[in-house]
Amino acid sequence: MERQFYKVVTIFLIWTSIGWFSFPFLVRASTIAPDLRFPRLLLQATVVALLYACAGIITLILGRYRTTKIQSEKLRQCPQCKKRIRADAVICPYCLTELDTE
Ligand SMILES: [Zn+2]
């Protein structure tokens, strides 16, 4: 769930960044603004694109870090239903068996 959230946010930010990077070139290629001051637009769009790219990289790292933290959580097997549960669980979330804490 949380992993999915980070993934979606990262993809959105990177996608927006690519959009900002390509925006000045698309405007120049089209005939929307013939008297366009291209270098200025390129600079501004690149700054915005870099901000989005940085935010995307931060969420990517954050998502990676949090994911590995969740994965490294110790698991054990429920003696009753044999499902994998957290090692520090007091009650099995599947079969509600009381477990002896180690
Ligand atoms: Zn169980």
Note whether 61 and 79 are same-domain residues. Answer: no
Note whether 40 and 8 are same-domain residues. Answer: yes
Note whether 38 and 86 are same-domain residues. Answer: no
pLDDT bracket for residue 71 (50, 70, 90): low
Q: Which residues form the domain of 38?
A: 2-71
Total domain count, the chain:
2
Token match 């044999």: residue? 82
How far is ligand 1, taken at its centre, from the CA of residue 3, in Å?
A: 25
Ligand 1 ion: Cβ-proximal residues, 5 Å cutoff:
78, 80-81, 92, 94-95, 97
How far is ligand 1, taken at its centre, from the CA of residue 94, in Å?
A: 5
- Of 50 and 26, which is predicted with more confidence? 50
Specify the pTM: 0.59
Q: What is the mean pLDDT of residues 74-84?
A: 91
Q: What is the pLDDT of residue 78?
A: 92
Q: What is the pLDDT of residue 18?
A: 95
What percentage of the chain exceeds 70 in pLDDT?
Answer: 88
- Residues 52 and 28: their CA atoms lie apart, in Å, by 22
- Is residue 102 pLDDT above 60, yes or no? no
pLDDT bracket for residue 34 (50, 70, 90): low
Q: What is the pLDDT of residues 47-64, one digit of tens each?
A: 999 999 999 999 989 888
